[in-house]
Amino acid sequence: MAFSILSLSLNAKAQDRTERVKAKYHKYLQEAEESYQAYDLEKAMDLLEKYDKKLRQSRIKSREEVALLKDQISLASRLLEYAQKIEVIDSIQLSWLDMEAWIADLSPSLSEKIDFELDSNQDVRIHYHCSENAMSLMVREHKKNLDIQQKLELLDEEKETSFISSSVNTENSENAPFLMPNGCVLLFSRKSAEGLGGYDLYYARVDAEKNEYFKAKMLGIPFSSPYNDYLLAYDDEQGLVYLLSDRYCKEGEVALYRIKTLPSELQGEAMANASLGTMVRDNSEDIYLPIKGEVVIRDWSDFKSSEAKSMYRDVLSAERRLRAFETEQLEIKKAYVNGDKSGVDRLSELTKEMAQLKIFIKERLVEVKNKELSFR
């Protein structure tokens, strides 16, 4: 018994010393977090290294949050290399209680589809409703986290309710579902250690053949950020993106952004035709895609993987955008030779965008081929 009491006393002293040392050097961790949120990633990593070194010199293991922040900084560094340039129209900071009224005023069509609910902890849940197909996507507590639940209105006022697939719902919290107007892509937010911090924005394409969703992918910077990015929605009547995020906000407030630019991940063929109410036809263009050896895709029906087919559409869309950029670049150069220098700034933007597209096309083609091969 005496040994147990002594052991407990020593453990308590060790724990107390650990907390005192961490408190002493906590300023490094706090400044690292602030630098990360300001996208000063080099400074953030340097401060984390100093904090980690101080703890090791005191023979104390660094906390999990240090490793997590290092992972987030590394992810942000990679994403910043391909950060999309967007055009923001305006933004306003509001409380959640005022948000519905502002959205109703700015976008009546979105107001009909989005509901806000504050729980007892004043945490927000954002629900989606689509009257055209009598379907709702609700955010509900499930296994100690938030998940997305689908509710279908059937005949005779019957309702069918179920949590959607594990490719979207995970052991983390998911929130703010929004179905793009073409019905092919689900947008939502997820709070995960694999993201940039807080809620990040994700998208998942619909697998129409299986009535399921493909694996969700995170949207890049600037749509996702180190802050809480709660909702991304698209008003197809206005052609505007609406983003809700608490980046750079006072506590208890959230910013509502109106943006002209869709995320590049959603600018595929299906997205371009959404406002016209049409879907891409499989015979809309000739294709030739060598997969491996004698395996060659010459027709859309040759695909064994519906996900590979969807990703290849992204490739073709990116190639069309690249050709358009090349044409624009050539016209600016011709004008420059003739004395018109007004397009010089645009020329540097085009060069960067074209380089990013080339990288995207190269990497996505590898994904397409690997995915298709896995089905053969």
Q: What is the pLDDT of residues 303-340, one digit of tens each?
A: 898 888 888 888 888 888 888 888 888 888 878 777 88
Domain regions of the chain by residue span = 2-81, 88-261, 281-373
Report pLDDT for 219. Answer: 94
SS3 content of the chain, % helix, strand, coil (to 5): 45, 25, 30
Residues 190-219 pLDDT 10s: 999 999 999 999 999 887 666 678 889 999
Residue 158 — pLDDT band, cuts 50, 70, 90?
low
Any idea what DSSP says for residue 61?
P
pLDDT band at 43 (very low <50, low <70, confident <90, very high): very high
CA distance 273 to 52: 51
- Please list, residue by residue across 319-347, b when 16 or more beta carbons sit within 10 angstroms of its beta carbon and e when fewer do: eebbeebeebbeebeeeeeeeeeebeeee
- 95-122: per-residue pLDDT in tens? 999 999 999 999 999 999 999 999 877 7
Residue 272 pLDDT greater than 60, yes or no:
no
Q: What pLDDT, on a 0 to 100 scale, did the predictor assign at position 10?
A: 43
Count CA atoms closer than 13 A to 8's CA, side-chain side. 5
Query: What beta strand segments (E) does the chain contain?
Result: 88-95, 114-118, 124-130, 135-142, 145-153, 159-163, 173-179, 185-191, 199-207, 212-213, 217-218, 229-235, 240-245, 253-259, 289-292, 295-297
**CA–CA separation, 306 vs 311, rounded Å?**
9
What per-residue confidence (pLDDT) applies to 164? 82
Asked if residue 117 lies in contact with residue 124, where contact means CB atoms within 8 angstroms, the answer is: yes
> Would you call 80 helix, strand, or coil by DSSP?
helix
DSSP, res 113: T
The pLDDT value given to residue 289: 85
The bridge status of strand 173-179 relative to strand 114-118 is unpaired
pLDDT for residue 42:
94
CA distance 368 to 315: 9
Q: Which CATH number fits domain 2-81: 1.10.10, 1.20.58, 1.10.260, 3.40.50?
A: 1.20.58
- What Å distances lie between residue 215 and 165, 170, 279, CA to CA? 10, 11, 21
